[in-house]
Amino acid sequence: MVDTVPWKGARVIGISRKPSPAAEHLEADLADPSSWAALGDAFRQELSGFAGDRVVFVHAAGAVGPIGFAEELDTDAYTASVLLNSAAPQVVGQLFLAAARNVAAHRHLVMLTSGAASSVYPGWAVYGAGKATIDQWVRDVGAEQATRGGAQVLAVAPGAVETGLQEQLRETSEEEFPKRQKFLDLHKEGKLSDPYDTATAIWGLLGRDLDSGSVIDLRELANPAG
Structure confidence at residue 6 (pLDDT):
61
Q: Which residue has the higher pLDDT, 216 or 21?
A: 216
Q: Is residue 115 included in any domain, yes or no? A: yes
Q: Given its phi and psi angles, is residue 93 left (phi above 0), alpha (psi -120 to 50 degrees) or beta?
A: alpha
How much of the chain exceeds pLDDT 90, in percent? 79
C-alpha to C-alpha distances, 191 to 4, 118, 160, 176, 183, nearest whole angstrom = 23, 21, 7, 23, 10
Instruction: Please give the DSSP secondary-structure letter assigned to residue 192.
Output: P
Per the structure, the count of domains in the chain is 1
**104 located within any domain:** yes
pTM of the model: 0.90
Tell me, yes or no, whether 112 lies in a domain.
Answer: yes
pLDDT at residue 201 in the model? 92
In a domain, residue 129? The reply is yes
Residue 23 lies in a domain: no
pLDDT exceeds 60 at position 63: yes
Backbone φ and ψ of 94, nearest 5°: -65, -40
Is the residue at 120 inside a domain?
yes
Q: Is residue 205 in some structural domain?
A: yes
**Element (DSSP H or E) covering residue 111:** strand 106-112
Domain that holds residue 94: 54-220
Position 46 in a domain: no
Query: Mean pLDDT across the stretch 194-212?
Result: 91
Mean pLDDT, range 70-74, rounded to an integer: 97
Q: What is the CATH number of the domain that holds 88?
A: 3.40.50.720
